[in-house]
A and B are shown apart, each in its own frame.
Chain A
Amino acid sequence: AQSVTQPDARVTVSEGASLQLRCKYSYFGTPYLFWYVQYPRQGLQLLLKYYPGDPVVQGVNGFEAEFSKSNSSFHLRKASVHWSDWAVYFCAVSMGSGSWQLIFGSGTQLTVMP
């Protein structure tokens, strides 16, 4: 069965530091992968998506993610974190064409220290 694991429930970084949020997926076949961000009392906003092709995908606000089939991972990165990045980040997987329903991880709360 498909599943997504985000091993870090909470991550704290200093403003201006680099960031990596980890995501591991379990899926038999070619996955379609997504990162969403959820700000307090708001819905989820799509940061970036991976459709089979180039393993490194660029998203909004300087975020990027790298797909690794060998490691079953889709980690999210940012070179320099801003205080406005304080939010919860969710990784999700989909089977793609024909069934776009998403399976979400449990989320990672990002705290940005001044």
Chain B
Amino acid sequence: EAGVTQSPRYAVLQEGQAVSFWCDPISGHDTLYWYQQPRDQGPQLLVYFRDEAVIDNSQLPSDRFSAVRPKGTNSTLKIQSAKQGDTATYLCASSRLGGQYFGPGTRLTVL
């Protein structure tokens, strides 16, 4: 069974640039999560979906971050105008009936 895949693995931007992260969850997993993990910290939930519906996006900085999962499978997280404070690893996870499985993450550096 293939695990959660993410791309790109690394991204380096100047402040103000936009970036998108892509996630392909484990087949059959109805729930998909996006986390932000700053260096030397634990992951913090940004948003999660069940199928195509957003269940909780209360921690997503809505003025610059957006996330979609249009067909209830793959998902895209986008940062419109990146700031240095967005420097972190962005992790995608999927689950079905509990027990989340994580992808390798995208390490973002904003200069």
Query: Which of B12-20, B60-68, B69-77, B94-102 makes up part of the contact surface?
Result: B94-102
The interface size bin for chain B is 20 to 34
The answer to whether the Cβ of A27 comes within 8 Å of any Cβ in the partner chain is no
CB pair B103–A46 under 8 Å, yes or no, is no
B residues in contact with A103, CB < 8 Å: 45
Task: Let me know if B33 and A101 touch, CB within 8 A.
Answer: yes
> Is A31 an interface residue when CB atoms closer than 8 A count as contact?
no
B25 contacts the other chain (CB 8 A): no
Q: B95 near A43 (CB under 8 angstroms)? A: no
A110 to B99, CA, bound (A): 23
Q: Contacts A32-B98, A96-B98, A101-B45; is A43 near B4 (CB within 8 Å)?
A: yes
Q: Are A43 and B48 in contact (CB under 8 A)?
A: no
Chain A hits for B107, CB < 8 A: 41
Question: Which residues of B lie under 8 Å from residue A92 when comparing CB positions?
Answer: 42
Interface SS majority for chain A: strand
Partner of A106, one of B33, B41, B55: B41
Whether the pair A102, B103 counts as a contact (CB closer than 8 A) is: no
- For A51, give the chain B residue with the smallest CB separation: B98
A interface residues (Cβ-Cβ under 8 A, vs B):
4, 32, 34, 36, 41-46, 49, 51, 90, 92, 94, 96-97, 99-107
Which B residues have a C-beta under 8 Å from some C-beta of A? Answer: 4, 31, 33, 40-45, 48, 55-56, 91, 93, 95, 98-105, 107
